């Protein structure tokens, strides 16, 4: 399931934030569901950003400026 895949990736990349392609490129629509809404309703083990809620446009711009995405 998606949850299991994300839990595995969180273990491998603990400092990564989970986003959809559309969060990084406004020409993309994938994964065709709201990732932040999904994260609000799923408990992804060891995901340290779970408590922070959704990423804002400012968060995304910060990550882009830092070259992290």
Structure tokens, 38: 């999904």
Which residues have C-beta within 8 Å of that of residue 29, sequence separation ≥ 6? 21, 22
CA atoms within 13 A on the CB side of 17: 21
The reported pTM is 0.68
- Per residue in 49-67, pLDDT (tens digit) is 766 655 677 777 887 888 7
Structure tokens, 37: 């809404």
CB distance 7 to 44 below 8 Å: yes
Q: What percent of the chain has pLDDT over 70?
A: 90
């Amino acid at each position: 399931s998606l949850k299991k895949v994300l839990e595995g990736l969180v273990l491998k990349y603990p400092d990564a934030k989970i986003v959809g392609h559309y969060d990084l490129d406004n020409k993309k629509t994938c994964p065709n569901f709201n990732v932040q809404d999904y994260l609000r309703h799923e408990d992804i083990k060891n995901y340290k950003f779970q408590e922070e809620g959704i990423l804002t446009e400012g968060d995304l711009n910060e990550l882009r400026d830092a070259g992290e995405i």
